[in-house]
A and B are shown apart, each in its own frame.
Chain A
C-alpha cells in the first residue's frame, strides 16, 4: 500500500466527498446523526472559505490565544544529546496551555455562525474540556462537558477550572468511565439536542467532517512552522515529531508538510508498559483497522471486536482509536508511527524540565522521548522539530504521586 515518493508529492491529502482518507474515515454513524453531520459539513465547507469567518478566527488566534507560538531552539538539550538541532514548537504557551484551543476556537465560531447557542464536548484529562469552556465563556455559549467518572476524580483541578468558566461537567459512569465513554455520552446528547447544540469534538477522530475540520483548525501550527523554520534556519526541518492520541496536534503540524517529502514525519503513540504487553494505547503500532466512534481507523480491540481498555500514564493519549488520516498516512508510507513507554516519557518529562526550563505535558513527553532517540541518530547540521503540544502544570500531581510525593 505504500506509495512512491512521486505519488506522495502529488497527492492533495484531502478526504473525498464522503470524508474518506483512502479506506479510512467516513461516516459510520446511526441514521439519527446523519442530518446533523451533513448540516455541519455544509456549514463548514461554506465557512472555511468565508473571509469574515477566517478573519475572526485569525484575530482570535492572535489576540486571545497569543499566536504565533514561538519556535524555540533547545540548544542545551541538543548539545547534551549530541545529534541534530532540536527545536520546540511552543504550543504550550497558548492560552489554556496547549494546542487544543486552536480547534475549540474554530469550532465555537462554527457554532456561532451556525446559530447554535449550546455547545457540548467530551474530555479525557480535561484539557479539551477547559479549552471548550474557555471559548464558550468568551462567546457567551452554554457549555456542557462530558467526562468519565474516573477522570473526574483523577483530574479535579481541571474539573474546577471548567466550573469556574461557567461550564457544567457531567461525570459519565458507563463503560470504562474514561474518555471513550465520555465520547459516547456526548454523541447521545448531540443526537437528542441537535437543533440547538453544536458538538465540539476534541481531536481528529469521529465521523466526517470532524477529522478534516479539526485538522484544518490545528494546521495553523504547521503553517507557522513553515515560515518560522525558513526564518530561523533557512530551510524546512529534516524531521517533525509529535505525540498521537487522537492525533490533532500531530496532524496540525504534519499536514502543511505532507507534500514536502524531504521532511520526515514521526507520530509517537503511548506504548504504556510496553508494546508487547496489553497495557498501552498504540493502535497504529499494534492495533488493526476497525470502526469506532463513527470512523474506520486503526483501533485496539480484542479477538471478538470489543474495544479494549487502554493504558497510558498520560490521560490525553489513553484512547483506543486514532484519527483516520493518521491511519491513511501510515498505510501510504508518508508518516512513521512509533511508541514511547510510560517510563521513557517520564524520563523525558524530567530531563526537559531540568535542561530547558520547560515542564512539558505528559502527552508531549512521549514526543520528546522519541525526539531524543531520533536526534541522536542525526547530524548536528540537521534539525528536528518537536511539537511542544502542552504544558505540564496539569500533570505535576500525577507525577508527584507516582514518585510517592504528596502535594496536599
Chain B
C-alpha cells in the first residue's frame, strides 16, 4: 500500500511545503457527462486529490445541499457502476491525481463489497471514505479494500474521544478526514483557531496527514485551515455552484475552477 497515489501525492506536497486542496463533487450531478470534465477542470485549478461522491438516497450525515446533489445524480441515472466508469474515463488522461470515493455503505453491499473493490482497483480508485462505517463495524469491505491496495479514510470529529482517536488512527490510511464542525456538511460556523488547536492535539494519535472538511467556503478559510492542517476539503460550496448551474451544465467545470483557484493561491501564499 505504501506506493499508492495518495501517499505519493502527500509526500510530494510535504517536500514542497504545500498543503492539499481536496474538492468534493457528487458523481453524476447534475448529469453523468459533466463529471469527468469537472474532475479534469478541478485538477487544472490546483486540486491535489479528488473526492467523488457516490450518490445515496438517504445521506443522513450530509446537509441539504449535498443531499440535493445526490438526488440530482440519482435522477440523472448515475449508479455505482457509473461512478466507477467515470473514474476509468478520468484515468485515461490523468494517471497521477488520486481519487477517493465517498459515500454510504448500502449501495456497496448491493453490488457486493468484493465486486465493488475489484471495480475500484480496475478503474483506478485510490481510497474509500464510507461515512456510515466506523472502525467498529468493519466487515468484508475492509479486508477486500486492503488486499487491493485501496486506502480507507476515516473521519474524526470534535467530539471524538482520545480512546477512539487511537482506534481511528490505527484504522485510517492515506489521510484522516477531520470534520471541523459539529453538524452536517454545509454548516456555516467555522472557528479556525479551535480547529488548529484540535489538529495539534490529534497529531499525538494520528500518524497520517490530517485534512479538514466541513465549513470551508472561501479562500481565506482554506488558507487559515491549511496553516495547521495538511489539507483543506471543499465540498458544499462546489455542490451549491453545480446546483446554481443545473440548467447550464457546460459552464460547471469553469465555475468550479473559479472557486478553487483563489483557494489554491491563498493556500500556496501561506507556504
Contact = CB atoms under 8 A, between A and B. Distances in A.
Contacts of B111: 304-305
A292 interface: yes
A21 B53 CA distance: 31
11 contacts: A28-B133, A32-B159, A32-B179, A34-B164, A184-B59, A291-B104, A291-B132, A293-B58, A294-B132, A296-B137, A304-B107
Which bucket holds chain A's interface residue count? Answer: 35 or more
Interface in B91-105: 104-105
Contacts of A184: 58-60, 67
A304 B59 CA distance: 15
A189 to B, nearest CB: 9
Contacts of B57: 175, 306-307
Interface string B41-83: 0000000000000001111110110011001001000011100
Interface of A: 18, 26-36, 38, 174-175, 180-181, 183-184, 187-188, 191-192, 194-195, 289-294, 296, 299, 301-307
A30 B61 contact: yes
Interface on chain A toward B: helix, strand, loop, or mixed SS? mixed
Contact of B109 (A29, A291, A307): A291
Contacts, number: 127
B61 A191 contact: yes
Given A31-B160, A184-B58, A304-B107, 16 more contacts: A18-B136, A29-B61, A29-B132, A30-B61, A31-B156, A31-B168, A32-B157, A32-B159, A32-B182, A174-B67, A175-B57, A184-B59, A290-B109, A302-B110, A305-B111, A307-B57
Contacts of A302: 110
A26 B109 CA distance: 16
Interface of B: 56-61, 63-64, 67-68, 71, 74, 79-81, 104-111, 131-134, 136-137, 154-157, 159-161, 164, 168, 179, 182-184, 187
Contacts of B67: 174-175, 184
B269 to A, nearest CB: 31
A191 B131 contact: no
Contacts of A183: 60
Contacts of B131: 30
